[in-house]
Amino acid sequence: MGKTCFLFPGQGSQIVGMGKDFYEQFTIAKNTYKIAEEILGFNLADISFQGPEQRLKQTQYTQPALYVHSYIIARLLEERGVKGDAAAGHSLGEFSALAYGDAFSFEEGLELVKGRAQLMQEAGDKNPGSMAAIIGLEAEEVMTICIDSQDEGVVQPANYNSPQQVVISGTKEGVAKAMELAQAKGARKVIELVVSGAFHSPLMISVVENFGNMLEKTRIQLGTIPVYANVTANPVTTSQEIRSLLHDQLTHPVRWVETIQNMVRDGVERFVEVGAGKVLSGLVKRINREVNIVQCGSVEALNAF
């Protein structure tokens, strides 16, 4: 039988109420949310379970909420004998993947996520940008569109999500121009995203130095399973490479298509989306229809394993 890979979702997958069913039924969930509250300084369980949605959407809350939720589910899957032979995460999800792979502890990872989320929230507040999904054009076409829009402002690919979906990021003017050109080029859909900042773009440059300092102070080791990095789409090979790639991830695109393709190349046949939403399941299906993909974001789904 082929390998199983755990995939961890990123920002945009959050749902008000996520984690509540685990909290009510499993001691590990209660204890994990208690530890999270001590580290974060706010009641993450209350925000995750009750919202309101507008608050949960704020980067400083979204990222810790997704990280904690995914981590709990991964450990509960392990208790049932379901383990990932490899892991990857989309943007913020990369931290969940590394924690699952024991590159750092849950607590150390949450400290990083807390700092990253706060810095990204501040960067978005000080230097507002925009992001948009371009659907129905090849990646090369989207890159050309971004280059042709540079006279209006900064804009670049942020997420290579599927062969026909690329998310772009940059200044509001740059993204608006690229959206206009994409529509003129015949894109099937052009959707401006509701985000608090221009993630994975040069507009996050103000975050880089401070987050780099956090990474240098964190104990990081090469984990127990291959973890595929967003920046390279390949497994990390050293602890210093993990630091470097988490640092670069802030301003570089997420190469999700290549990540899934490389995992299949390396023998992965089953993907388990560990956490809220079904975003990654949908993307995997668009990248490779031959692999098996299942989603585990609720107690009901957990009990099906």
Mean of pLDDT values over 59-79: 97
As a whole number, mean pLDDT of residues 40-49 equals: 97
- Digit-coded pLDDT (tens) for 145-185: 999 999 999 999 999 999 999 999 999 999 999 999 999 99
Of the candidates 48, 70, 130, 200, the residue annotated as catalytic is 200
Q: Is the pLDDT of residue 278 over 90?
A: yes
Residue 250: pLDDT band by 50, 70, 90 thresholds?
very high
113-151 pLDDT, tens digit per residue, is: 999 999 999 988 888 899 999 999 999 999 999 999 999
- At 234 the pLDDT is 98
For the stretch 198-215, pLDDT in tens is 999 999 988 888 999 999
255 in the same domain as 291: yes
Per-residue pLDDT at 125: 87
| 286 CB-near residues (< 8 Å, 6+ apart) | 162, 163, 164, 165
Residue in the block written with tokens 């900042």 = 197
Within 42-154, strands assigned E span 86-89, 130-135
Backbone φ and ψ of 218, nearest 5°: -95, 135
Q: Are residues 93 and 157 in the same domain?
A: no
Q: Given 13, 48, 70, 91, which residue is catalytic?
A: 91
Helix 106-126 × helix 205-217 angle, to 10°:
160
- Give the per-residue pLDDT at 60: 94
In terms of phi and psi (left: phi > 0; alpha: psi -120 to 50; beta: otherwise), the region of 208 is: alpha
Q: Which of 141, 162, 193 is the last residue of a domain?
A: 193
The reply to whether 85 and 8 lie within a common domain is: yes
Residues 282 and 258 in one domain: yes
Q: Say if residue 96 is in the same domain as residue 62.
A: yes
Residues 217 and 269 in one domain: yes
Both 138 and 275 in one domain: the answer is no
The predicted pLDDT at position 161 comes to 97
Please say which residue of 193, 222, 246 terminates a domain: 193
91 & 234 share domain: yes
Mean pLDDT of 60-78: 97
Among the three residues 169, 193, 217, which one is the final residue of a domain in this structure?
Answer: 193
Is 247 tagged catalytic? no
Q: In degrees rounded to 5, what are phi and psi of residue 128?
A: -60, 140
**What's the CA gap between 270 and 274, in Å, rounded?**
13
Specify whether 200 is catalytic: yes
Give the CATH number, domain containing residue 120. Answer: 3.40.366.10
Length of the chain: 305
Q: Are residue 119 and residue 136 in the same domain, yes or no? A: no
Residue 196 confidence class, pLDDT cut points 50, 70, 90: confident
Same domain, 13 and 150: no
Count of domains for the chain: 2
Q: Bridge partners of 189?
A: 135
Q: Tell me the CATH number at 157.
A: 3.30.70.250
Pair 153, 172: CB distance under 8 Å: yes
Q: How far is CA 277 from CA 3, 17, 77, in A?
A: 23, 12, 17
* Whether residues 11 and 113 fall in one domain: yes
Question: Do residues 37 and 68 share a domain?
Answer: yes
- When pLDDT is averaged across residues 250-276 and rounded to a whole number, the result is 97
The pLDDT score that the predictor gives to residue 31 is 98
Domain that holds residue 80: 3-125+202-303
Q: Average pLDDT for residues 68-91, to the nearest whole number?
A: 97
For the beta carbon of residue 209, count every other beta carbon within 10 angstroms: 10
